[in-house]
Amino acid sequence: MRYERLFVALEAVLLALWAGAMAGFAFIFAPVASRHIGNMETFAAMIAAVIRALTAFGNVCGALAVALSLARAFSPRARTLACVRIGLVAVGLAASAYETSAIMPRMEATAAQIPGPIDSVPKTDARRIAYDREHTNSTRVYGLAFLCVLAAVALVPFGRRSE
C-alpha cells in the first residue's frame, strides 16, 4: 500500500492521544482535583463533564483510527491485526458510551437524591451504597476502555508489509 507508513503513523498518534488523555485524567487530573475541590458535588460535576469530553474526543480519535485500520486491512498480511485493532477500539468506544449514557446518569440521579454533600451521607445509607456501586462500575468500565485503547496502540505497528 502506497500510504501505509503514513496510515500507521496517524493511527498510532490518534490512539496514543486518546489513551494519553484517558491516562492523564485517571492518574493525574482526577486525583489532583479530588484533593483540591472540597465540595463533592462540584467535584462530581467536573469529573462528569471531563469524562463526557473525553468520550467525545475518543469518538473522534477512535473513528479515524478505525478508518485508517480499515484502509490497512486491504493488505492480506495486515488484515487480521487490523480486525483485532478495530475490535479493541469498538469495545473501547462502546465502554465509553455505556459509561456516559448509563452509569453516569445513574450516579447523577442518585447524587441528586442526597441532600448536601455525598460524603456527608453514611456509607451504610442505601443512596450512598448505590452511588459507590456505580462509581465502582464506572471505574471498571473506564479501565476496560483504557486497556482496549492501549492494546490497540500496541498493535498498530504490527502486520505491515515487508519492505
Return the pLDDT at 163. Answer: 47
Cα separation, 41 vs 119, whole angstroms: 9
Return the pLDDT at 102. 97
Q: Are 88 and 18 in contact (CB under 8 A)?
A: no
pLDDT at 11: 96
Q: Cβ(139)–Cβ(95) under 8 Å?
A: no
For residue 158, the model assigns a pLDDT of 83
Describe the crossing of helices 126-155 and 76-98 by its angle, rounded to 10 degrees: 160
pLDDT at 162: 52
pLDDT in tens, the chain (163 residues): 578 889 999 999 999 999 999 999 999 999 999 888 877 778 888 999 999 999 999 999 999 999 999 998 887 888 899 999 999 999 999 999 999 999 999 998 988 888 777 778 899 999 989 999 999 999 999 999 999 999 999 999 886 655 4
Angle (CA) 10 13 19, round 5°: 140
What's the pLDDT score for residue 75?
79
Look at residues 71, 79, 66, 75 and name the one whose alpha carbon lies nearest to residue 148: 66
Cell numbers at 138, concatenated: 464506572
